[in-house]
Amino acid sequence: MCNIIGCDMSRRFFLLVVLFLSPSLAMAGKNDAEWNPPARFDHAYTGQLTVRYLPQKKVVTACAKLFAEYKVATKSSFTQRGCSAITNKTSCTVIVIDKTFGLATPKAVLRHEIGHCNGWSASHPD
């Protein structure tokens, strides 16, 4: 049990925490300008698209192999959620997490990686 002041303070603290964290829920989603590709790259891929869904720990290894195989000048990281490589003029391979990881959904990661298949640089310029 708590008195009126104690309960009120707890509720206020809880609301502040929720409000503070709420903007971060958009991270790695459709409204995160740093995550989504610029509009000119944010469309369906017209070539042959190969997509592999893997657990996040396997994404790291699979991306390192994909980058080495196609000589992509990007490195893998332990928190990697996906990757892509243009495998020839008309095909692209994408590796994506199989479930949400670090607020990134597989759908959001796929959208990001297809942007790279469409020509968006790995350095993520506008």
What are 18-64's pLDDT values in tens digits?
Answer: 333 333 333 345 556 568 999 999 999 999 999 999 999 999 999 99
Task: Supply the pLDDT for residue 125.
Answer: 83
**Helix-then-strand count for the chain, H and E:** 3, 3
Provide the CB-side half-sphere exposure for 14 (13 A, CA): 6
Other Cβ atoms closer than 10 A to 103: 15
The residues spanned by each domain of the chain are 4-117
- CB within 8 A of 69, min separation 6: which ones? 85
Other Cβ atoms closer than 10 A to 3: 8
Categorize the per-residue pLDDT at 9 as very low, low, confident or very high, splitting at 50, 70 and 90. Answer: low
d(CA 30, CA 38): 11
Categorize the per-residue pLDDT at 94 as very low, low, confident or very high, splitting at 50, 70 and 90. Answer: very high
In contact, 125 and 46? CB cutoff 8 Å: no
> What is the average per-residue pLDDT within 89-107?
94
